Amino acid sequence: MAGEDRVLAGGAKYIDFQTEPSRYRHWKLAVDGEIATLTMDVDETGGLFEGYQLKLNSYDLGVDIELADAVQRLRFEHPGVKVVVLRSGKNRVFCAGANIRMLAGATHAHKVNFCKFTNETRNGLEDSSANSGQRFITVVNGTAAGGGYELALATDHIILADDGAAAVALPELPLLAVLPGTGGLTRVVDKRKVRRDRADYFCTIEEGIKGKRAVQWRLVDEIVPNSKLEAKVSERARQFAAASKRDGNGSGISLTPLKRNFDDNGVRYGLVSVDIDRAQRIATISIKAPDAPPPNDIDGVITQGASFWPLQVARELDDAILHLRINELETAMLVFKSHGDRANVLACDALLEANKSHWLVNEIRQYWKRVLKRIDVTSRTLVTLIEPGSCFAGTLAELVFAADRSYMLIGQKQGDNRAPPAIELTPMNFGPYPMSHGLTRLQSRFQADVSDLDRAREKIGEALDAEQAEQLGLVTFALDDIDWDDEIRVFLEERTSFSPDGLTGMEANLRFVGPETMESKIFSRLTAWQNWIFQRPNAVGENGALLRYGTGQKPQFDMTRV
């Protein structure tokens, strides 16, 4: 099942983010030509942890792991699908949102990572609609409360049953003394353009809003009586399919299971390895370049399928980041390294650029964008070390620009006969991989002077040594062999000695230079406040709303405004 526990030699249990449809416990995926249906039918007994039941289609991380997997498979395995209908498999309820007992009993770290992953999954729906042409329709047949309504908000069109009972609600504030944690507030006003005063009312009532008012206030798109609901859903799906820009000719490719080997010191994939030094609290992520050039054409890419180097690396890196986020909480720092033939990495980039209009290449590029975004919002210090034998070029060079610090060796190390390291830019560094706020990492890096960005662009295709990279502003420091070991050691020791809370706040503030978008607001403004509120006694204290919910006792609040 999704989120199943993996027990390592040391006895630790790890939540697994890998699953596939035959193992789903909470979702059913059906495909009929251009239209797919994702039915939410949560197994009450299928929670990740003990102590709660997932009643009324409420969810925990395991439910969302399955949803994320389904959306990913729809993009890669079903290129002909143009519309996805989300609906409930239960009568008179769509989704009651995140399970309250789970939230009340979870650690703060789990709540934060749960909300972050759920946000990324919701953003993935919108990304699929915008960039893959798979439009999403939600059918609300009963109550859509909290995270249930937030799921609907992430789709393109919401159809609400007009039966006097079905309603949408964001009752977290009055019921639980917290906020909708997966984009609800932001999407209500920024995406659906609900008036602020109406949104204020809506977010402070428990019962939600139904019928004509829900349409008038833009909370849903249309209401339909139950007798006409199925006909309307079918009509809307056909309309959306006709207007879709998705052009996925032929068969999809199978996202075969990742080959992984877990041990007490890390994870080994085919092209990515994770080595964890628990004493130092550092995880080193090493990426291997392809051993051979990529196929000559798109047919060769399709033949390779999930083993095509850019796709395999993206999947392995994505899984590694999620594993480290939620299962290795004491890890303070992620250090990125790479090794192999830079020419083969560049050849893959060239193939992706030349065939970017093909549906599969588009999906691979979009997936890399999402993986890099996931790295951007990961609460660990990010460091990239560019050493002899590394291959930080094009797509992989984004890991240099995503880092909080990057160090590049000048020349060679004594006794090392490998060529001095070089960075090489490609068109992939100048558009395909924007951050959550809409800018590329180089645009964000060179906010002070756009001419710095132009100078970097002029170097596309050139192998840049450490001194050139430092002069262009592509790395933080270029160090020679004499200083390298000591400088790196001092930095790592100092960094891991700082407060994790202070570092998380500092890094999150510094990484997103420039404007805001709805997506960046969800990860900054909303997530920051939600995380803070989830630590306050009014929510999680002994007499707080989360613990007293359902007991018949009213919560006791500290009425001081902070």
**What's the domain range around 201?**
25-243
293 and 382 belong to one structural domain: yes
Out of 484, 507, 530, a domain closes at 507
- The verdict on 166 and 205 lying in the same domain is yes
Instruction: Give 414 or 328, the one with higher predicted confidence.
Output: 328
Do 227 and 279 share a structural domain?
no
Q: According to the 3-state scheme, what is the secondary structure of 173-242? A: HHHHCCCCCCCHHHHHHHHCCCCHHHHHHHCCCCCCECHHHHHHCCCCCEEECHHHHHHHHHHHHHHHHH
What is the domain-level CATH number for residue 220?
3.90.226.10
Residues 107 and 215 occupy one common structural domain:
yes
> 53-98: per-residue pLDDT in tens?
999 999 999 999 999 999 999 999 999 999 999 999 999 999 999 9
Confidence tier at 247 by pLDDT (50, 70, 90): confident
- Confidence class for position 525, pLDDT limits 50, 70, 90: confident
Q: Is the pLDDT of residue 342 over 90?
A: yes
Look at residues 460, 477, 507 and tell me which one is the last residue of a structural domain. 507
Residues 47 and 139 in one domain: yes
Is residue 19 included in any domain, yes or no?
no
Express each pLDDT in 463-514 by its tens digit.
Answer: 999 999 999 999 999 999 999 999 999 999 999 999 999 999 899 889 999 9
60 close to 54: Cβ distance less than 8 angstroms: yes
Residue 223 and residue 271 in one domain? no
Q: What pLDDT score does 2 carry? A: 47
Is the pLDDT score of 3 beyond 50? no
Do 403 and 476 belong together in one domain? Answer: yes
144 CB-near residues (< 8 Å, 6+ apart): 94, 95, 138, 151, 152, 166, 167, 168, 169, 208
Mean pLDDT computed over 257-284: 96
**92 within some domain:** yes
Q: Is the pTM of this model over 0.75?
A: yes
Average pLDDT of the chain is 95
Residues 275 and 137 in one domain: no
User: What pLDDT digit, counting tens, does each position of 151-203 carry?
Assistant: 999 999 999 999 999 999 999 999 999 999 889 999 999 999 999 999 999 99
Q: So what's the pLDDT on residue 7?
A: 53
Residue 520 belongs to a domain: no
Higher model confidence: residue 527 or residue 288? 288
Residue 175 lies in a domain: yes
Residues 233 and 116 in one domain: yes
Q: What is the pLDDT of residue 6?
A: 56
416 and 448 in a single domain? The answer is yes
Task: Answer whether residue 183 is part of any domain.
Answer: yes
Q: Are residues 348 and 322 in the same domain?
A: yes
CA distance 389 to 340: 6
Tell me if 519 is assigned to some domain.
no
The pLDDT tens digits for 221-238 are 999 999 999 999 999 999
Three-state SS at 266: strand
Residue 12 covered by a domain: no
Write down the pLDDT at residue 4.
47
Select the more confidently predicted residue: 13 or 314. Answer: 314
Q: How many domains does the chain have?
A: 2
- Percent of the chain exceeding pLDDT 90 equals 90
What is the pLDDT confidence band of residue 415, given thresholds at 50, 70 and 90?
confident
Q: Which of these three, 489, 507, 525, is where a domain ends?
A: 507
State pLDDT tens for residues 116-137. 999 999 999 999 999 999 999 9
Q: Would you give the end-to-end CA distance of the chain in angstroms?
A: 42
100 and 167 part of one domain: yes
Taking 80 as the threshold, does the pLDDT of residue 426 lie above it?
yes
Average pLDDT for residues 378-407, to the nearest whole number? 98
In which residue are the tokens 């890099």 written? 372
| CB-based contacts of 86, cutoff 8 Å, min separation 6 | 38, 40, 136, 137, 138, 139, 151, 152, 155
Q: Does residue 527 register a pLDDT over 80?
A: no
Distance between CA 538 and CA 471 in Å, rounded? 51
14 domain-assigned: no
Q: Please, which contacts does 235-238 make with residues 24 or more away whose CB atoms are closer than 8 Å?
A: 236/137, 236/157, 236/159, 237/35, 237/83, 237/85, 237/137, 238/35
